[in-house]
Structure 1
Amino acid sequence: MAFDARDKEISVDDFVRYVDTGTMGKVLEIKTEDEVDWVLIDKTNLWYKAKLVEILDEKDIKIKITPSGREVDIEELKEKADKLENMQMDSSVAEGGG
Protein backbone atom coordinates (compact mmCIF):
# COMPACT_ATOMS: atom_id res chain seq x y z
CA MET A 1 0.00 0.00 0.00
CA ALA A 2 1.26 3.47 -0.93
CA PHE A 3 0.13 6.75 0.61
CA ASP A 4 0.31 10.27 -0.79
CA ALA A 5 1.49 13.52 0.83
CA ARG A 6 -1.85 13.79 2.69
CA ASP A 7 -1.75 10.13 3.82
CA LYS A 8 -4.47 9.05 1.39
CA GLU A 9 -4.08 5.58 -0.09
CA ILE A 10 -2.94 5.65 -3.74
CA SER A 11 -4.31 3.12 -6.22
CA VAL A 12 -3.51 2.38 -9.85
CA ASP A 13 -5.60 4.67 -12.14
CA ASP A 14 -5.76 7.47 -9.53
CA PHE A 15 -4.96 10.94 -10.86
CA VAL A 16 -2.15 12.57 -8.90
CA ARG A 17 -0.10 15.77 -8.92
CA TYR A 18 3.62 15.93 -8.08
CA VAL A 19 3.71 18.65 -5.43
CA ASP A 20 7.10 20.14 -6.41
CA THR A 21 6.36 20.86 -10.08
CA GLY A 22 2.61 20.43 -10.47
CA THR A 23 3.02 17.60 -12.98
CA MET A 24 -0.27 15.71 -13.18
CA GLY A 25 -1.06 12.28 -14.51
CA LYS A 26 -2.60 8.91 -13.93
CA VAL A 27 -0.86 6.29 -11.79
CA LEU A 28 0.14 3.34 -13.98
CA GLU A 29 2.05 1.26 -11.41
CA ILE A 30 3.00 1.26 -7.74
CA LYS A 31 6.12 -0.33 -6.29
CA THR A 32 8.07 -0.41 -3.04
CA GLU A 33 11.88 -0.44 -2.95
CA ASP A 34 13.94 -0.18 0.24
CA GLU A 35 10.77 0.65 2.19
CA VAL A 36 10.00 3.65 -0.09
CA ASP A 37 6.78 3.66 -2.12
CA TRP A 38 6.94 4.85 -5.73
CA VAL A 39 4.27 5.62 -8.34
CA LEU A 40 4.70 5.63 -12.12
CA ILE A 41 2.87 8.56 -13.75
CA ASP A 42 1.67 8.20 -17.34
CA LYS A 43 2.31 11.79 -18.49
CA THR A 44 6.08 11.65 -17.94
CA ASN A 45 6.60 7.89 -17.67
CA LEU A 46 8.72 8.63 -14.57
CA TRP A 47 8.64 7.21 -11.05
CA TYR A 48 7.81 9.61 -8.19
CA LYS A 49 8.00 9.05 -4.44
CA ALA A 50 4.45 8.42 -3.29
CA LYS A 51 4.83 10.86 -0.38
CA LEU A 52 5.59 13.66 -2.88
CA VAL A 53 2.37 13.34 -4.87
CA GLU A 54 -1.20 14.13 -3.92
CA ILE A 55 -4.33 12.42 -5.16
CA LEU A 56 -6.55 14.76 -7.15
CA ASP A 57 -10.30 14.91 -6.81
CA GLU A 58 -12.13 14.76 -10.11
CA LYS A 59 -12.93 18.48 -9.78
CA ASP A 60 -9.19 19.25 -9.52
CA ILE A 61 -8.25 17.53 -12.77
CA LYS A 62 -7.61 20.25 -15.33
CA ILE A 63 -6.33 18.12 -18.21
CA LYS A 64 -8.68 17.65 -21.14
CA ILE A 65 -8.23 15.39 -24.15
CA THR A 66 -8.85 17.07 -27.51
CA PRO A 67 -10.52 15.23 -30.40
CA SER A 68 -7.05 14.60 -31.85
CA GLY A 69 -6.12 12.75 -28.64
CA ARG A 70 -3.78 15.48 -27.38
CA GLU A 71 -3.73 16.46 -23.69
CA VAL A 72 -4.34 20.12 -22.91
CA ASP A 73 -3.87 21.72 -19.50
CA ILE A 74 -6.77 24.18 -19.37
CA GLU A 75 -5.36 26.24 -16.48
CA GLU A 76 -1.99 26.61 -18.24
CA LEU A 77 -3.70 27.92 -21.37
CA LYS A 78 -5.70 30.42 -19.31
CA GLU A 79 -2.53 31.70 -17.61
CA LYS A 80 -0.78 32.15 -20.97
CA ALA A 81 -3.79 34.02 -22.37
CA ASP A 82 -3.88 36.31 -19.31
CA LYS A 83 -0.19 37.13 -19.71
CA LEU A 84 -0.69 38.02 -23.36
CA GLU A 85 -3.71 40.21 -22.56
CA ASN A 86 -1.81 42.07 -19.86
CA MET A 87 1.27 42.71 -21.99
CA GLN A 88 1.76 46.34 -22.91
CA MET A 89 3.28 47.47 -26.17
CA ASP A 90 5.66 50.40 -25.86
CA SER A 91 7.54 52.06 -28.69
CA SER A 92 10.21 53.53 -26.40
CA VAL A 93 11.60 50.16 -25.34
CA ALA A 94 14.12 49.82 -28.16
CA GLU A 95 15.55 52.18 -30.72
CA GLY A 96 17.18 51.54 -34.05
CA GLY A 97 20.92 52.05 -34.46
CA GLY A 98 20.73 54.19 -37.59
Structure 2
Amino acid sequence: MAFDARDKEISTDDYVRYVDTGTIGKVLDIKTEDEVGWVLIDKTNLWYKSKLVEVLDEKDIKVKFTPTGRELDIEDLKEKAANMENMQMDSNVAEGGG
Protein backbone atom coordinates (compact mmCIF):
# COMPACT_ATOMS: atom_id res chain seq x y z
CA MET A 1 0.00 0.00 0.00
CA ALA A 2 1.35 3.44 -0.98
CA PHE A 3 0.15 6.95 -0.17
CA ASP A 4 0.69 10.16 -2.11
CA ALA A 5 1.89 13.59 -0.95
CA ARG A 6 -1.61 14.31 0.42
CA ASP A 7 -1.86 10.91 2.18
CA LYS A 8 -4.34 9.64 -0.39
CA GLU A 9 -4.03 5.93 -1.18
CA ILE A 10 -2.53 5.17 -4.59
CA SER A 11 -3.79 2.23 -6.66
CA THR A 12 -2.58 0.77 -9.94
CA ASP A 13 -4.23 2.47 -12.94
CA ASP A 14 -4.49 5.77 -11.00
CA TYR A 15 -3.12 8.83 -12.75
CA VAL A 16 -0.53 10.73 -10.73
CA ARG A 17 1.58 13.86 -11.13
CA TYR A 18 5.20 14.02 -9.95
CA VAL A 19 5.17 17.23 -7.91
CA ASP A 20 8.72 18.36 -8.76
CA THR A 21 8.41 18.32 -12.57
CA GLY A 22 4.68 18.02 -13.25
CA THR A 23 5.12 14.73 -15.13
CA ILE A 24 1.76 12.98 -15.38
CA GLY A 25 1.40 9.25 -15.86
CA LYS A 26 -0.57 6.14 -15.11
CA VAL A 27 0.57 3.94 -12.21
CA LEU A 28 1.63 0.56 -13.57
CA ASP A 29 2.97 -1.00 -10.37
CA ILE A 30 3.37 -0.28 -6.66
CA LYS A 31 5.98 -1.60 -4.25
CA THR A 32 7.25 -0.94 -0.73
CA GLU A 33 10.91 -1.15 0.23
CA ASP A 34 12.22 -0.30 3.72
CA GLU A 35 8.80 1.18 4.57
CA VAL A 36 8.97 3.59 1.59
CA GLY A 37 6.25 3.40 -1.06
CA TRP A 38 7.21 3.50 -4.74
CA VAL A 39 5.08 3.80 -7.89
CA LEU A 40 6.04 2.94 -11.48
CA ILE A 41 4.70 5.51 -13.96
CA ASP A 42 4.01 4.56 -17.57
CA LYS A 43 5.02 7.88 -19.14
CA THR A 44 8.66 7.62 -18.07
CA ASN A 45 8.85 3.95 -17.02
CA LEU A 46 10.59 5.15 -13.84
CA TRP A 47 9.92 4.49 -10.16
CA TYR A 48 8.93 7.49 -8.00
CA LYS A 49 8.63 7.76 -4.23
CA SER A 50 4.91 7.73 -3.57
CA LYS A 51 5.14 10.75 -1.24
CA LEU A 52 6.47 12.82 -4.16
CA VAL A 53 3.43 12.25 -6.40
CA GLU A 54 -0.20 13.22 -6.09
CA VAL A 55 -3.23 11.28 -7.31
CA LEU A 56 -5.14 13.21 -9.98
CA ASP A 57 -8.83 13.47 -10.65
CA GLU A 58 -9.91 12.85 -14.24
CA LYS A 59 -10.57 16.57 -14.69
CA ASP A 60 -6.89 17.28 -13.93
CA ILE A 61 -5.66 15.01 -16.74
CA LYS A 62 -7.36 16.69 -19.70
CA VAL A 63 -8.02 20.37 -20.38
CA LYS A 64 -11.03 21.40 -22.44
CA PHE A 65 -10.95 24.46 -24.65
CA THR A 66 -14.42 25.98 -24.51
CA PRO A 67 -14.61 27.52 -28.02
CA THR A 68 -14.38 24.17 -29.81
CA GLY A 69 -14.89 21.72 -26.94
CA ARG A 70 -11.71 19.95 -28.05
CA GLU A 71 -9.73 18.07 -25.41
CA LEU A 72 -5.97 18.42 -25.26
CA ASP A 73 -3.52 16.19 -23.39
CA ILE A 74 -1.06 18.31 -21.41
CA GLU A 75 1.67 15.66 -21.62
CA ASP A 76 1.37 15.59 -25.43
CA LEU A 77 1.92 19.36 -25.48
CA LYS A 78 5.03 19.04 -23.31
CA GLU A 79 6.36 16.31 -25.58
CA LYS A 80 5.77 18.40 -28.71
CA ALA A 81 7.48 21.40 -27.10
CA ALA A 82 10.49 19.28 -26.17
CA ASN A 83 10.69 17.96 -29.73
CA MET A 84 10.62 21.52 -31.08
CA GLU A 85 13.47 22.51 -28.75
CA ASN A 86 15.52 19.54 -29.94
CA MET A 87 15.12 20.36 -33.62
CA GLN A 88 18.39 21.25 -35.26
CA MET A 89 18.43 24.42 -37.30
CA ASP A 90 20.57 24.40 -40.45
CA SER A 91 21.69 27.52 -42.26
CA ASN A 92 21.75 25.68 -45.61
CA VAL A 93 17.99 25.34 -45.72
CA ALA A 94 15.89 27.61 -47.95
CA GLU A 95 18.68 29.49 -49.67
CA GLY A 96 17.76 32.12 -52.20
CA GLY A 97 17.98 31.26 -55.88
CA GLY A 98 19.41 34.40 -57.31
TM-score after normalising by structure 1: 0.65
Q: Is the 8 A contact 2:27 2:41 kept in 1?
A: yes
Percent of matched pairs sharing the same residue: 79
User: SS in structure 1 opposite 2:7?
Assistant: coil
Q: Deviation of residue 2 (structure 1)?
A: 0.5
Aligned Cα RMSD in Å? Answer: 2.4
Q: Is the 8 A contact 1:30 1:37 kept in 2?
A: yes
Alpha-carbon spacing, 1:74–1:6, altered in 2? closer, same or farther (3 Å): same
Aligned residues: 71
Per-residue CA distance 1:64-83 (angstroms, 9 max, x = gap): xxxxxxxx527947xx7xxx
Q: Does 1:41 align with 2:41?
A: yes
Residue identity in the other structure for 1:73: I
CA distance in 1, matches of 2:76, 2:20: 17
Q: Hey, what does 1:15 align to over in structure 2?
A: 15
Gap regions ≥5 residues in structure 1: 64-71, 81-98
Gap regions ≥5 residues in structure 2: 64-72, 82-98
Runs of 4+ in 1 over 6 A off after TM superposition: none
